[in-house]
Amino acid sequence: MESILKEKIREAVKVLYKGDAANELIQIQETRKDFKGDFTLVVFPLLRFSKNTPEKTGETIGNYLTATFPAIKGYNVIKGFLNLEISDAWWIENFSKMISESNLFGKSLVSNPETILIEYSSPNTNKPLHLGHIRNNLIGFSLYRILSACGHRVIKTNIVNDRGIHICKSMLAWQKYGNVETPESTGMKGDHLVGKYYVMFEKEYKLQADELMKKGLDEDEARNSAPLMKEAREMLIKWEAGDKEVLDLWMKMNSWVYAGFDETYRALGVDFDEIYYESETYQHGKDIILDALKKGVLYKKDDSSIWIDLTADNLDNKLLLRSDGTAVYITQDIGTAVLRQAKYGFNKCIYVVGNEQNYHFQVLKAVLKRIGYKWSDGLIHFSYGMVELPEGRMKSREGTIVDADDLINEMKITAREVSLELGKLADFNEDEKEEVFRKIGLGALKYFILKVDPRKNMTFNPAESIDFNGNTGPFIQYTFARIKSVLRKADQTNIKYDNNILSDTTLGAKEILLIKLLRNFKINVSEAAEGYSPAIVANYCYELAREYNQFYHDFSILGEENPSIRNLRLALSEVTGRVLGSGMWLLGIEMPERM
């Protein structure tokens, strides 16, 4: 309708004022809820043609539109705003198309589909996934679904940071203090077991550094001179040299971690099309750096370390290879980016990484561009905010992180307690109850995280996330289940809606409001894709669920005696259920049909 209105208004300007209004001068928006109307024209930009007051211009254009465009049944002018009322017939025709429409998403809105890689998760193999990883995974997976729904070719990727000094810390601590512990002998998930030794290393390392500081060394000297850190550095050099004993230990401990990660990913409901490993890409990065050094793009210091001068890009000098020849973190990112481009020829590569890495990705893009990779313009750092708990930030080195597995389990337990207290599942068997508890718990977790603008820091409060009222996942899930219940009862009593008789129905304000919201689904999905923001879809789903519940509360559906009105309300319920199910699917949230 917006595009049709623009053409009619352009026509009005031409007929009434002999002018040609450019597209950007015709500004149309949905009418605010506190005013009467459906669409509002901002009149002020058109005064250059009318040479009249905003009120008189609005009146003249309003009269022209009602006389020449049957879809407009009335108008009102408030200062410089022309509020247009659309006829019931148009809304019903528009809604009738929705009923039979198979594409609820935004594919028709994308004129130039792209190949897009999304990198998310990016765990280290020295610790289990935590709450921060949950936000990362949920954002990345939801962006994949949203962008795919809009017609793009999207590849889900993960880069596992499985080498480096932090990995050696866990390995060394297990060697020294592990007593040959394994996941099988301890009953611990492998990633938890390895994480235990990372924390142990940090504690012992801190004690050693503190002792050296008591002897007169400053903090940096003490930390560099601590025996544990020296041993960890020696282990890293041996690893890069291919030492068999170190590599065997590395492969064994990493296999424990991968098994643990896979279990967490399955529980969270996320997956990947391709997983890259830093141990396999860092060497390619080193080769690229050494080649660029030969070409004079980089420079070598006296200690043999290799650097790039990025001061012309308002960045610093950046270390790319250490003096001992070992790679730094950006080395593998260079290699991985080049390998991905060679395989997929992507238009964009989106890195879902926290905002503490903003500088790193500025440097990565600048380095690749300086080396000569023009496609580096397509690298996008999706910089999301940190997630905290009410008591503050988490610190993995101190072992104060919120473990992802524990949180997922806690959400299921909380969902069970709340659901049983409300008595909503009295007629379910135990297996059915557990499945609903799982969906509610994970739905609460995912929605609470995804409804927040991903670029903002957020505080996750598990107790607030599971609430069957308010802006929560369980509220939307319950609305969906309520709609399914209405449709089941209609089917059981042989009440069916017929799309062909919708034209006989008069619409009320609530029905129009629901139709407006439903027609905006594609627009919201498209905006979420363009802005890389699942929060747009999440909050749209809440608004739709809230309005449907108000509609359900105010009007009878199956008990309505007028078959035409009952027909319309049943159709509205069915389409609302479909849109809610599709919207929440984009967020990775499962919807129970009964709860």
**Where are the chain's structural domains?**
2-86, 120-398, 404-586
Mean pLDDT of the residues in the chain: 90
Q: How far are the Cα atoms of 285, 306, 308, 428 from residue 299, in angstroms, in the given order?
A: 16, 6, 6, 69
pLDDT at 504: 62
**Is residue 105 very low, low, confident or very high in pLDDT (cuts 50, 70, 90)?**
low
Neighbours of 210 (CB within 10 A): 12
Residue 359 is encoded by which pair of tokens?
A: 């500088």
Neighbours of 141 (CB within 10 A): 27
Spatial CA neighbour of 448 closest among 135, 152, 188: 135
Q: Quick check: 399 pLDDT over 50?
A: no
User: Residue 114 in 3-state DSSP?
Assistant: coil
Interval 563-586 mean pLDDT: 92
User: Residue 354 in 3-state DSSP?
Assistant: strand
Interval 71-91 mean pLDDT: 91
User: DSSP string of 532-572?
Assistant: T-HHHHHHHHHHHHHHHHHHHHHS-STT-SSHHHHHHHHHH
pLDDT at 465: 80
- Amino acid type, 505: T
- Amino acid type, 158: N
Tens of pLDDT, residue by residue over 545-558, are 999 999 999 999 99
Bridge partners (DSSP) listed for residue 116: 154, 348
> CA–CA separation, 529 vs 534, rounded Å?
8
Residue 265 is encoded by which pair of tokens?
A: 């990913």
Tens of pLDDT, residue by residue over 447-500, are 999 999 999 998 887 778 877 788 999 999 999 999 999 999 998 988 877 666
> CA–CA separation, 220 vs 333, rounded Å?
27
> CA–CA separation, 431 vs 429, rounded Å?
6
Interval 433-453 mean pLDDT: 93
Tens of pLDDT, residue by residue over 201-245, are 999 999 999 999 999 999 999 999 999 999 999 999 999 889 999
Tens of pLDDT, residue by residue over 148-202, are 999 999 999 999 999 888 899 999 999 999 989 999 999 999 999 999 999 999 9
φ, ψ for residue 109, nearest 5 deg: -90, -10
To which H or E segment does residue 7 belong? helix 2-17
CATH superfamily, domain 120-398, is: HUPs (3.40.50.620)
Interval 271-295 mean pLDDT: 95
Q: Quick check: 394 pLDDT over 50?
A: no
**Is residue 398 very low, low, confident or very high in pLDDT (cuts 50, 70, 90)?**
very low
Tens of pLDDT, residue by residue over 507-550, are 788 888 899 899 899 989 999 999 999 999 999 999 999 999 99
- Is 2-86 assigned to CATH 3.30.1360.70? yes
Tens of pLDDT, residue by residue over 296-338, are 999 999 999 999 999 999 999 999 999 988 888 899 999 999 9
**Is residue 369 very low, low, confident or very high in pLDDT (cuts 50, 70, 90)?**
very high
Calculate what percentage of the chain has a pLDDT beyond 90.
Answer: 72
> CA–CA separation, 593 vs 95, rounded Å?
24
**Is residue 392 very low, low, confident or very high in pLDDT (cuts 50, 70, 90)?**
low
Predicted TM-score of the model (pTM)? 0.88
pLDDT at 396: 44
Q: How far are the Cα atoms of 245, 253, 256 from residue 179, in angstroms, in the given order?
A: 17, 14, 16
pLDDT at 397: 45
| DSSP-derived pairing of the beta strands 317-321 and 348-354 | unpaired
- Residues near 309 by Cβ (< 8 Å), separated by ≥ 6? 299, 317
Domain covering 404-586 in this structure, CATH number: 1.10.730.10
